[in-house]
Amino acid sequence: MTTIDPTRATCPAPQAETERVLLGHGSGGQLSTELLDDVIIAELGTAGPLEDAALVGIADVDAVFSTDSFVVTPRFFPGGDIGSLAVHGTVNDLAMRGARPVALALAYVLEEGFPLAELRTITASVAAAARACGVPVATGDTKVVGAGAADGVYVTTTGIGVRLRDAFPSAAGGVPGDVVLLSGHVGDHGTAILSAREGLGFEAEIRSDSRPLHDLVAAMIAAGARDVHALRDPTRGGLASALNELAAASEVAVEITDADIPIRPQVAAACELLGLDPLHVANEGCLVAFVAPGSADAVLSAMRGTEAGQAARAIGTVTGGPAGQVTARTTVGARRVVDVLIGEQLPRIC
């Protein structure tokens, strides 16, 4: 029999890795924010809320401008591929500023030895997705790097759009009293990618939700106009990161109800098994919105009338609580804080 010796009850002082890029810096969580704030924005000297796309005034037209790079493993997954994802990602970033996409630029970084057949397939997917969105690929660039210097292909899409009439959504636009609307199920994309990447062999196929959201946004603006205060598509970092970012930029608090968040049973089961929180898992085909209460019902109804918004629901409200705080009412009736992940979400041991 033993007793615990309190003098042995000590703990380590770790030296955190601070001077190298970690995989977690690309996760959409706290590490991503630190990289942006401390390294990139600090050097560029820009300021203001971090929006999905920038508004650029060009001779009486509000042009909206955004760029994004896509690095995904595997490149083909249930529900999409890197090509369609690159189109949807940028079209959706423009849409989150209330814009209709006008033109896309496409850039490839290709690794020496990459099969041309696969490049053709990816490019055909880019073309099909762009056609479906009604936006031409107007310009582009291709670079090849030596074998081993890249992982097959990296795709960058840059998009330019025009702001819809009476559309002024901004990450900083939320006000207390707004209703929080979610357009569809969360967790599909990240779980599909993880499942395909790791060959986990879940019986029920889980498909990425990758899809364009500009028609959904157009319907929302038509129904709510300036009452659509803030929009964000919860990609990396999931719904939890998106809500935290909007709450911080708008200097408001957000309260959601766990039971109101639509999660497909197979996604919930996969997340449960892997120890992942569906609120932290990436999406590519849904959006969260802060909408003035007077227009919330009309906007919700308009969302449900579109293909991308059939499962839309009100999931909470914006309050005047502590700026940046996101809380959830749990299924047993208590309250918890919905935090942002630090880096990658790592599967649990048990």
Stretch that binds other proteins, among 49-57, 76-84, 213-221, 269-277 (CB under 8 A): 269-277
Q: C-alpha angle with apex 161: 283 to 296, nearest 5 degrees?
A: 55
Which residues, numbered 17-76, are part of the site for other proteins (CB under 8 A)? Answer: 17, 20-24, 30-31
Instruction: Quote the least distance from Cβ 333 to other proteins, whole Å.
Output: 6
Is the separation of the CB atoms in 179 and 165 below 8 Å? no
* Region binding other proteins by CB under 8 A among candidate stretches 44-52, 183-191, 226-234, 336-344: 336-344
Q: Which range touches other proteins (CB under 8 A), out of 117-125, 167-175, 213-221, 322-330?
A: 322-330
Q: Are 126 and 137 in contact (CB under 8 A)?
A: yes
Give the x-and-dash track for 243-262 against other proteins (CB under 8 A): ----------------x---
148 binding other proteins? (CB under 8 A)? no
Structure tokens at 235: 């990609």
61-70 vs 54-58, strand pairing mode:
antiparallel
Burial environment of residue 148 by CB neighbours within 10 A (0 to 12, 13 to 18, 19 or more): exposed
Rg of the chain, C-alpha, whole Å: 21
Could you tell me which residues come within 8 angstroms of residue 275 by beta carbon, excluding any fewer than 6 positions away?
A: 347, 348, 349, 350
Site string for other proteins, 183-212 (x = CB under 8 A): ---------------x-x------------
- The CB-of-9 to other proteins minimum distance in angstroms stands at 2
Q: Which two tokens stand for residue 118?
A: 């696969």
107 versus 269: smaller Cβ distance to other proteins: 269
Mark the segment that binds other proteins (CB under 8 A) among 143-151, 157-165, 207-215, 332-340.
332-340
Q: List the Cα angle 298/299/301 in 5-degree steps.
A: 65
CB of 237 to other proteins, least distance (A): 14
What the block records as the tokens of 236 is 């990396």
Site for other proteins, rule CB under 8 A? 1-6, 8-17, 20-24, 30-31, 198, 200, 259, 265, 268-269, 272, 274-275, 325, 327, 330-337, 339, 342-343, 346-350
